[in-house]
Amino acid sequence: MDPQRFKDAYARLEYLDENATHKVRRHGRGRLHSPSPEELDEALKILGDYTTELKDIVRELFVAIGSKPKGKNDPI
């Protein structure tokens, strides 16, 4: 496992959680009206962006787990 790569991916995951998770959580429980088409479009865009970023982070975590640690003299 490459601990630095894993640490970096985990930091990205934490950042995503702190800054974007609230955007994809369900809002307005108990609303009496349906969202407008514009609101739905915006919600789908946010969800798509979140999902893409999460997929990239998970991929990076798997690569980090399967990688050898980089030494001080190894190329970046």
Q: pLDDT tens across 23-64, in order?
A: 877 666 666 678 889 988 998 999 999 999 999 999 999 999
Which of 13, 75, 76, 11 lies closest to 50 in space, CA to CA? 13
**SS3 per residue for the chain:** CCHHHHHHHHHHHHHHHHHHHHHHCCCCCCCCCCCCHHHHHHHHHHHHHHHHHHHHHHHHHHHHHHCCCCCCCCCC
Q: pTM for this structure?
A: 0.74
Task: Write down the pLDDT at residue 55.
Answer: 97
| Residue 15 confidence class, pLDDT cut points 50, 70, 90 | very high
Question: Is 66 in contact with 6 (CB distance < 8 Å)?
Answer: no
Task: Write down the pLDDT at residue 25.
Answer: 75
Domain segments of the chain: what residues?
3-25+36-66
Task: Write down the pLDDT at residue 45.
Answer: 93
Segment 6-33 shows an average pLDDT of: 83
